[in-house]
Amino acid sequence: MNVGYKPEIILSGRTINDSMPIFIYNQINKLLKQKKINKTSLKILILGFTFKENCPDHRNTKVIEIFNQFSSNKNEVIVVDPKVNVEEVNREYGIKIYTEIPKNKYDILILAVPHNQFLKLNFNSFLNSKSIIYDVKGVLKFKTDGRL
> Which residues contact residue 134 at a Cβ distance below 8 angstroms, ignoring those fewer than 6 apart?
24, 27, 28, 31, 108, 109, 110, 111, 144, 145, 146, 147
**Gap between the Cα atoms of 148 and 88, Å rounded:** 29
**Gap between the Cα atoms of 2 and 6, Å rounded:** 9
For 50-86, how does the pLDDT look when each residue is reduced to its tens digit (9 = 90+)? 999 999 999 989 999 999 999 977 899 999 999 999 9
Instruction: Tell whether the model's pLDDT for residue 108 goes beyond 60.
Output: yes
Residue type for position 94: G
CATH of 8-147, one of 3.40.50.720, 3.30.300.30, 2.60.120.380, 3.40.50.150: 3.40.50.720
pTM for the whole structure:
0.89
- Neighbouring-strand partners of residue 134: 110, 146
Domain boundaries, the chain: 8-147
pLDDT reported for residue 106: 97
**Gap between the Cα atoms of 86 and 133, Å rounded:** 24
pLDDT reported for residue 15: 61
Instruction: Tell whether the model's pLDDT for residue 7 goes beyond 90.
Output: no
**Gap between the Cα atoms of 106 and 130, Å rounded:** 9
Average confidence (pLDDT) over 21-45: 93
C-beta of residue 110 within 8 angstroms of C-beta of residue 28: yes
Instruction: Tell whether the model's pLDDT for residue 2 goes beyond 70.
Output: no
Average confidence (pLDDT) over 79-97: 97
Please, what is the end-to-end C-alpha distance for the chain in angstroms? 36
**Gap between the Cα atoms of 28 and 145, Å rounded:** 9
